[in-house]
Structure 1
Amino acid sequence: MLPEQNFPSYAYLPGKHPHPVRHPLGHSYQSDPVAVAVAEALSSNVFRWGIDLFNHGYYWEAHEAWEPLWHAAKQSTQHRLFFKGLILLAAAGVKIREGKRVAAARHAARAAALLRQLGNLPSRGFEAALGMTPAALAVYAEAATTSPPVLREPTLNQPEPVFDFILAPK
């Protein structure tokens, strides 16, 4: 989605890599925070960068990309549910990779519950932003924790995605 952006040098896993923001050797140390208006959030490069990171297995980094959007959505319940659901799904990806199945299932279930709530509200372009309905993403979220993948060590710091779907905005 954003070919001019370079992926981080590693996909962060607690205890395995330097913390990306707090540690001087972190891949995002001293990076500038991003501000985006909620009205343009779903078409923003910030959101799309989070999609790229997520689809390529950089779950912690996707969470960090989407968090400013969640904070900016204080006046929009739908956007807050949407971004919080994505953030929790990314957190589930980190926990799956860490082998922490209980925590992964908890995050995925919370993500699914939030995404399902969007089905009861008027659409705000979420299906186009994801390439699927939020309800379909909720199903994928829960399925990922019931039969988690067998993970290999990443080669050359290229993480292996743990989800068997991609987010494909239209």
Structure 2
Amino acid sequence: MGHSYQSDPGTVVTVEESLRSNVFRWGIDFFNHGYYREAHEAWEPLWHAAKRSAQHRLFFQGLILLAAAGVKIREGKRVAAVRHAARAAALFRQVALLPSRPFEAAIGLTPAALAVEAEAAITSPTVLRDPMPGQLPEPVYDFILAPKSESG
């Protein structure tokens, strides 16, 4: 069932609104709390909606792959985790090269910094404890995504 049991993150929004949307922030909340599968599911509709914006599409695909890497790290599937995290890092590096970059305010990191974090997650060993019944999962990443407020 997971963190999103009987929850609805909202409806799909336009690309222009996507980084300020409840759907996007829902995914961030999942990600920061270690619910990587749910984060992936929250961000996927945004990726599909971004067909006309290459930078948004690459950015969302990178986030989805980073979430997938978190799932694989937790499952102990190192080869798959490395593959997903490396692909995510490559996508974030592509996004960092594009002229318009609205992403830093949305996640609190530049895409280039997020690429470094993705690579760090696969080069340092992760030791996870199995959560006790009723406990939240342990995040596998040493960083959080923290959107900057619109006023600051």
1:12-60 deviations in Å (ceiling 9; x for gaps) = xxxxxxxx8xxxxxx359x687321111000001000100000000000
Alignment of 1:167 with 2:138, yes or no, is no
Aligned-partner Cα distance in 1 for 2:83–2:137: 22
Q: Shift of the alpha carbon at 1:104?
A: 0.1
Paired residue for 1:50?
27
1:166/1:37 Cα in 2 relative to 1: closer, same or farther (>3 Å)? same
**Overall identity of the aligned pairs, in %:** 74
What CA distance in whole angstroms lies between the structure 1 residues aligned with 2:36 and 2:145? 13
Deviation >6 Å, runs of 4+: none
How far apart are residue 124 of structure 1 and its match? Answer: 3.3
> TM-score with structure 2 length normalisation?
0.90
How far 1:68 sits from its partner (Å)?
0.3
Task: Please give the residue correspondences for 1:2-151 in structure 2 after superposition, counting only pairs within 5 Å.
Answer: 10=2, 27=5, 34-151=11-128
How far apart, CA to CA, are the structure 2 residues paired with 1:98 and 1:64?
18
Q: 2-side partners of 1:32 and 1:121: how far apart? A: 29
TM-score by length of 1: 0.81
More helix by share: 2
How many Å separate the matches in 1 of 2:142 and 2:13? 30
Alignment check: 8 A CA contact 2:34 2:137 kept: yes
Superposed CA RMSD in Å reads 1.8
Structure 1 residues without counterparts, runs of 5 or longer:
1-8, 12-19, 21-26
Letter of the aligned partner of 2:2 in structure 1?
A: Y
Give the gaps of 5 or more residues in structure 2: none
